[in-house]
Chain A
Amino acid sequence: MTTTLEAPAPVRAPVTVGRRYLAAGTFIVLGLIDIFVFGVFAHRGDAVFALSLPGATPKLPGIHVPGAPAAYVLGVISIGLGILRAVVDLPRWGKRLSIAIVLLCFLISLLAWADAGSSVGPLQVIDLLQGTLTASIPLVLGALAGLMCERSGVINIAIEGQLLIGAFTAAAVASVTGGVWLGLLGGSLAGGLVGIILAIFAITFLVDQIIVGVVLDVIALGMTNYLYNRVMVPYANTFNAGNTFGTVKIPVLGNIPVIGPVFFDSNVFLYITYALIVVIQIALFRTRWGLRVRAVGEHPTAADTVGIRVVWTRYRNVILGGLIAGIGGAYLTVGSVGFFTSDISSGFGYIALAAMIFGRWTPLGSVAAALLFGFSYQLQTELSVLRVPVSSFILLMAPYVATIIAVAGLVGRVRPPAADGKPYVKA
């Protein structure tokens, strides 16, 4: 009844005059930092980017970059692009390309500055990229889980809770049964169970979806903390033995230099993640199933009129999302450290949520955003290995500041699925 009254009520943002100039200004500032921070304060000597892990065969030669001159050149490129951006209204791909180039310039000059003259040795590029991917796995899976729900019109703030419950269950099941695959399955099912609860309250009982999500997060945290302290700590050998998956190297692809060790020499979670990204991207945008899901998320009344079962579609997607987030949770225990610890997901679910919004509710966008977070996290680790004289807390702060700048300056207003968060009541 009331859903039919939902006339489009666009809330206009204040006219964002100068989004272009904001981007141009950001480019120029980054270029100036390249020159006057990383260039001027560069140590003497070359920065070395090692392209193969120590002891790997075949061993590739490292790339030598002179610290200061590289930063000057890259800074000038960034400033040039900034001026170009301010003067010319670039086409869409041009804007994206220019952002990518400027960020890359900034990154290379940062790394060159960090490594030049360092006593620790070359910068392990493979380590950095490998770490980026593994750090991104829970974020990517969490973002995909959120996406599955929200494309069908149900807001999922419970990603954090699904990760946490998934991690707990996976550790416990793997520990009790001794089978890591059972742990993975258990973690996934536990995430799905949280999805079912979310669906029951959000879809059937029409409870505000943000409330249910937040509350489920709190319940998941309280429940896992409680059981961890009550059961896992006293009986650690039985319930928290720390079983993990081994790494699986893909036969041919894994031997390619650089690409092999980064993309094809990891444990099964990375491969599951690849598969899910591809499947969800295709399923959502190239199949009838996906069209229906999106129809339900955009205009449930219209979807209902043509015979799509709105409630069933939403239930299914929310549960599927829960299963995916559960896998992400399982990664945190059986996929990496093995042991469950209190609040092991430590906010990954919220970062995944931000990645999904940042990625504009698309699988590929979400993956890109999740990779950005994973990369920043790993970068901070690498930089502290190189003993960069900057507090690690400042480095840890960087990705979040970058996101704020990106959301404010580069992305701005994003448009969620039209019926996201609105319960559907048949008229």
Chain B
Amino acid sequence: MTDQNEAEPPAEPSAAPYVASETATTVDAGAPAPDQPRGRQPLTGNAIIQAVTEGHSVVITILAVFVALLVGAVLIVASDPVVLRAWDSFGYAPGTAFSATWDSVSAAYSALFEGAIFSPATISAAFHGGSVAAIFYPLSLTAFEATPLILTGLSVAVCFRAGMFNIGAAGQWVGGALVATWLGYAVNLPIVLHAVVCIIGAFVGGALIGWIVGEIKARTGAHEVILTIMLNYVMYNFLAFLLSSRGLLQAPGQTNAVAPNIKANAFLPHVGGPPPQVGVGFLIALAAAGATSWLLSRSTTGFEFRAVGASPSAARSAGISVERVWVLAFLIAGGLAGLSASTIVLGQTAPLTTNSYGTYGFDGITVALLGRARPLGVVLAGLLFGALNAGGTVMEAATGVPSDVTNVIEALIVLLVAAPPLIRALFRLRGTGGAGPQAVASKGWSG
């Protein structure tokens, strides 16, 4: 189901049962949906208590983060040799076992926090003549890590809203990265203009790859999941081919798969001096989220997207061209994934390699799911994941706990948020059973 704040496209009366069955297959249609805030209530004390005891979706999310961090703590402790040894001698020194456990977890999580939000040490340093900007350094790293995730998350979210599953943000990312890199080193333009051209180029490059998927789906009915998975592999290999072929996209004089450095004019400027790393890329991500929000909620095209997402057959009988929506949604999704690539290619000093694509495309799926395919939700989810990623790196450096544990935590958060009944059962909240608000109106393969 969707938030009540956002009007669902009114389907035709005859089509209403389909909409109900497809968006709310699981929610008991007769009972009032338990998770929905009943309009905008004033934030009184009673309302807050009620929200907590009945498991409002914000409360659910906070509890999900808590449970995921708890599971992460178990992982950290269970694989720490010091802790395991302490537990071996639990019989004679039970206190040691507990303190070793606590030390292990608190060291890891405080490093995570200091890497993602702020470190108390920088504040006292600032009082003693240190840099004030250093206080904001961890936050800027979080924003920096969040930037590509927000953009790929938006990419996946746009397709979700149109009733499609975009596993192909990774391939579209590569499409954007290739164009941005090529424009970045092969073209000479004045300062600002060069970066703008590269960003637009990345959008077009990603959109082209997305368009291929939408166009094939619209023309032949082939399933977008297969098409996007296959295109991901095609694009990885295409990237590797271009980067390792002399005269194509390989840096001159290199034998490795490395692209040339882009020109200084094409780099995205950083905001606020050297220590904080946050770049214009983050502003691009926020702007893209705003534009996507406008597109989905305020424009005719977005209305058509949501109508097709709710029920293609109802949309078709209302005179909407479903095929056109498929093509357009994938075009925009691809463009957003391409923008994500531009923030990496133009925001970092390292040239494009076969490792640059990382897991942005795939992480976009979890970000979009956690953000319930809403642009604002995607931004918040992207910031949360960005914080965990930024903190994870610091944690690994400080305590030796592999940062992969943050990926587990992120995925667990998504899983738990999607299952409010489980969280309610764990914390004995009063809310009624049944499924929570479905993040996405999934229609299986038959979309």
Residues of A within 8 A of B (CB): 1-3, 5-7, 9-11, 13-14, 16, 155, 201, 205-212, 214-216, 218-219, 221-223, 225-227, 229-231, 347, 350-351, 353-354, 357-358, 391, 393-394, 396-397, 400-401, 403-404, 407-409, 411-414, 416, 418, 420-423, 425
Closest 10 A/B residue pairs (Cβ): A421-B444, A222-B407, A13-B221, A413-B221, A393-B241, A218-B411, A222-B408, A225-B404, A226-B404, A229-B402
Given the contacts A5-B20, A391-B245, A422-B25, A226 and B408 also touching, CB distance less than 8 Å: yes
List chain A residues, Cβ under 8 A from B18.
Answer: 5, 7, 9
Most buried by A among B18, B227, B237, B244: B237
Q: In the assembled complex, how far is the CB of residue A145 from the closest CB belonging to chain B, in whole angstroms?
A: 16
List chain B residues, Cβ under 8 A from A353.
Answer: 225, 229
Residues of B within 8 A of A (CB): 17-18, 20-21, 24-30, 75, 79, 165, 167, 216, 218-223, 225-227, 229-231, 233-234, 237-238, 240-241, 244-245, 311-313, 316, 322-323, 362, 365-366, 369, 401-402, 404-408, 410-412, 414-415, 418-419, 421-422, 434-435, 438-440, 442-446
Tell me the bound Cα distance from A226 to B396 in angstroms. 11
Q: In the assembled complex, how far is the CB of residue A351 from the closest CB belonging to chain B, in whole angstroms?
A: 7
Tell me the bound Cα distance from A333 to B371 in angstroms. 36
User: A354-B230, A407-B220, A425-B25 are known contacts; what are 15 more A-B pairs with Cβ within 8 Å?
Assistant: A6-B21, A11-B312, A13-B221, A201-B422, A215-B415, A218-B407, A222-B407, A222-B408, A225-B407, A226-B407, A350-B167, A397-B241, A404-B230, A407-B216, A422-B444
Identify A425's interface contact among B17, B26, B230, B444, CB under 8 A: B26
**6 A-B pairs in the complex with CB atoms less than 8 angstroms apart:** A222-B410, A222-B411, A226-B405, A397-B238, A408-B216, A411-B222
Does more than half of chain B's interface fall in helix, strand or loop, or is it mixed? helix
Identify A211's interface contact among B20, B25, B30, B439, CB under 8 A: B439
- A414 and B223 contacting across the interface, CB-CB below 8 Å: yes
Tell me the bound Cα distance from A14 to B316 in angstroms. 12
Given the contacts A223-B408, A404-B216, A2 and B419 also touching, CB distance less than 8 Å: no
List chain B residues, Cβ under 8 A from A218.
Answer: 362, 366, 407-408, 410-411, 414
Q: In the assembled complex, how far is the CB of residue A373 from the closest CB belonging to chain B, in whole angstroms?
A: 10
Q: In the assembled complex, how far is the CB of residue B253 from the closest CB belonging to chain A, in whole angstroms?
A: 19
- A211 and B442 contacting across the interface, CB-CB below 8 Å: yes
List chain B residues, Cβ under 8 A from A393.
Answer: 237-238, 240-241, 244
Tell me the bound Cα distance from A411 to B240 in angstroms. 29
- B446 and A11 contacting across the interface, CB-CB below 8 Å: yes
Given the contacts A208-B439, A214-B366, A222-B405, A421 and B445 also touching, CB distance less than 8 Å: yes
Q: In the assembled complex, how far is the CB of residue B416 from the closest CB belonging to chain A, in whole angstroms?
A: 9
Identify A407's interface contact among B223, B404, B412, CB under 8 A: B223
Tell me the bound Cα distance from A155 to B442 in angstroms. 11
